[in-house]
Amino acid sequence: MANEQAKMPRGLGVSGRRLWRAVADELAEDGLKPSAIERIWLDSACRMHDQAVILEAELAGAPRMTRGSMGQDVANPLVSELRQLHLAVNQTLSRIKMDVPEAPGIGIVSGVNQARRAVNTRWRGA
């Protein structure tokens, strides 16, 4: 995993780099190495996280309500955009498999691997 950390994408902000290192360190602790697509997802999540930090700073000094097209009070559009970014970051990070693969001789399996094992047992037999 040390190689993967050295290949951190360029252009990430402070928060994005911090997120990259946190995920990479957690994977390395479990002896896991992200696939190519997982590195792309992590890169995307880090860039979106950087954008969320920028929007949070913008929103800190902005009113929560603004005037709509008909003069009515409406929520500041930054609130919705920030919520969407947080959701996208969470969904993107959840795609990265961070569970330890089942070791031979050990019957404990978690998450996706447990479901995969059940399907394989049903179709192929014990």
- Taking only the tens place, the pLDDT of each residue in 67-80 is 989 999 999 999 99
Is a pLDDT exceeding 60 seen at residue 38?
yes
Two tokens, residue 14:
């402070």
Model pLDDT, residue 35: 87
- Structure confidence at residue 34 (pLDDT): 86
* pTM of structure: 0.71
* pLDDT category of residue 3 using cuts at 50, 70 and 90: very low
Q: Return the higher-pLDDT residue of 109 and 81.
A: 81
H or E stretch covering 94: helix 77-94
Give the C-alpha separation, 121 to 12, whole Å: 43
Return mean pLDDT, the chain: 83
